[in-house]
Amino acid sequence: MEIFRTLVHPSSINQKISYDSKMLFLGSCFTENIGCFFRDSKFDVDINPFGIQYNPDSITQSLARIISGKPYEESDLFYFQERWHSFDHHSSFSNINKEACLDSINARLAKANATISKLTHLFVTFGTNYCFRSIKTGEIVNNCHKVDAKEFKRIELSINEMFDMITPAFSRVKSLNENLQIVLTVSPIRYVQQGFVENTFSKAKLFSTIDLLQREAANLYYFPAYEIVIDDLRDYRFYKEDMIHPNDDALRYVWLRLKNAMLENTCFKIIEEVDSIDKDLRHRPNLPFGDAYQLFLRAVQSKILKLNNRFPLLDFEIEKAFIQEKLC
């Protein structure tokens, strides 16, 4: 029987991921989606300490700041529309309180800095080579925070510019751990604000940059998330209503292909057990205080304890707290 699809077969990564691995995810909302699959499966991950990022300049600048660990100061913030913001950070860090905004920014930075030298895998997802430069400061911003467009100039990073900014950033982080495995992806999300043709040219330049990076550096792995969504899942039923973002089915399929290419075989059974516990705790009983549900909770609690005894690194603190709150 013919298969009416163009199957994409990711190559196997040299340095497999295990539950001993420590991972950092940087980049677009797509990398957040994949990072969350790892997090929900109880891997040790840190996802976008600066929030969602799309362009290579912002990503490499955030990586440099994580390595240095230099805290942000009040002078790095600005006030706009009754909230405090940082041009380096996603709006999820913005706050009506200046101190709270600064505290959340520096707490995430300190956490990432504390583990940067211990990383085994760094995932970086590039979304577009378009970015915005502040006319006032000359700096490329990660997020405009809806500040008037006349305050910025939209620019396009060339292949050489991207190569020249990414190469030293990767060299520096690898100097902290020469065995670090860097995983590169290109977001399959089309950034159509600039137009469909411009999006195609932008993605092509990102791919050309990655090709140059792989030619010049060792231990760089490209995972074909873009090709899996655009070519393998070439159907709008795998997209959300906006017809731009991959839907849950598409993301789960990418996660499946990624697991098969990157994970050690010992991980799959653990993932199944973690998923089973998660499904149990999403169960909503008819009688929350009834004997049957109380027995059910204690059974789930026992499953967690047994799994934790075998794998102490798995963090079930949220699940344990949930069960404790529901038990009579």
Q: How confident is the model at residue 54, as a pLDDT?
A: 95
As a whole number, mean pLDDT of residues 182-190 equals 95
Say how far apart CA 258 and CA 70 lie, in whole Å: 34
Question: Which pair of structure tokens corresponds to residue 125?
Answer: 């997802």
In this prediction, what percent of the chain has a pLDDT beyond 70?
A: 99
Q: 149 burial class (0-12, 13-18, 19+ CB within 10 angstroms)? A: exposed
As a whole number, mean pLDDT of residues 167-183 equals 94
Instruction: Check whether 147 has a pLDDT greater than 50.
Output: yes
Instruction: Please tell me the number of Cα atoms within 13 Å of 105 on its side-chain side.
Output: 26
As a whole number, mean pLDDT of residues 182-211 equals 94
- Dihedral, 227, 262, 53, 233 alpha carbons, nearest 10: 30
pLDDT band for 24, please (50, 70, 90 cuts).
very high
Domains of the chain by start residue, with CATH = 22-264 (3.40.50.1110), 266-328 (no CATH)
pLDDT band for 1, please (50, 70, 90 cuts).
very low
As a whole number, mean pLDDT of residues 172-187 equals 95
- 140's enclosing H/E stretch is strand 140-141
Instruction: Check whether 2 has a pLDDT greater than 70.
Output: no
Residue keyed to tokens 């041009």 = 87
pLDDT digits over 85-141, tens only? 999 999 999 999 999 999 999 999 999 999 999 999 999 999 999 999 999 999 999
Mean residue pLDDT of the chain comes to 95
Q: How confident is the model at residue 5, as a pLDDT?
A: 81
Instruction: Check whether 153 has a pLDDT greater than 90.
Output: yes
pLDDT digits over 271-285, tens only? 999 999 999 999 888
